[in-house]
Structure 1
Amino acid sequence: MDNLTKSEQQELETRLQKRQVKEFMTLFGGLVDNCFTACVDDFTSKALSGRENGCISRCVIKSMATQTRLSERFAELNQSMTAEMQNKRF
C-alpha cells in the first residue's frame, strides 16, 4: 500500500469498507434465514411464541459463537502460515 497514491489508498479503503458491509449483510441475512427456518413454524399469530423466541435466541447465540470461533481459528492459521513463510525466507 506504500506505493499507492493518496487517492488510490482512499479508493482502496472505500472498496474494502463496502466489501466488509456486503459480507456482514450476507452473514446477517444467512443468520436470519437459518434461525427463522429452524425456529418459526406457527403463522397463526403475528407475535412469536415463547418457544420460538427461545429457539431464535439460542440459534443467534450459537451462530455468533460459531462465527467468532471460525474467525479466531482463521487468524491462528493465518498467523502460523505467515510465520512458516517467514522462516522459509531466512
Structure 2
Amino acid sequence: MNGIDMEGFSEEEQKKLFNMIEQQQVRDSLRMYNSVVERCFTDCVESFRRKSLDKQEESCVTRCTQKFLAHTQRVNMRFAELSQGAATPD
C-alpha cells in the first residue's frame, strides 16, 4: 500500500496515517492550483479595464495552464518511472 509496510501498525494507527497522507495530498493539490493561478494570472493579465479577460489574455491563460498541466503530468510520469525502478531489485 503506497510503498509503506503497515504490518506493525494497529488499525487505528493505519487510519491516522492514511488520513495524514490524504490531508497532505489535498494541501499539495491546493498549493499546485494556487501556483498555476498566480503564475498564469501574473503572466497573462495586463490590465483591469474590464470584468472579463480579453481574447488575448484568455488565450494566454489557456496556453499557460495547458503547459503547466502537461509539465506536471510529465513530472508525475517520470517520478512513477523512477519509483518503479527503485522498487525493483537488481
TM over 0.5: yes
Partners of 1:55 and 1:49 in 2: CA distance: 10
List per-residue Cα deviations over 1:31-63 (Å, max 9, x = no partner): 000000010001111111011011101111110
Q: Which of 29, 34, 58 in structure 2 is aligned with 1:29? A: 34
Structure 1 residue 19 corresponds to structure 2 residue 24: yes
Displacement over 3 Å in runs of 4+: none
Unpaired runs of at least 5, structure 2:
1-5
TM norm structure 1: 0.90
- 1: CA distance, partners of 2:12 / 2:82: 33
Instruction: Find the aligned partners of 1:7 and 1:82 in 2 and give their Cα distance.
Output: 27
Normalised by the size of structure 2, how large is the TM-score?
0.90
Q: CA RMSD in A?
A: 0.8
Q: Which residue number corresponds to residue 50 of structure 1?
A: 55
SS in 2 for 1:48: coil
What percent identity do the matched residue pairs reach? 33
Tell me if 1:73 matches 2:78: yes
What CA distance in whole angstroms lies between the structure 1 residues aligned with 2:7 and 2:36? 38
* Structure 2 residue aligned with 1:41: 46
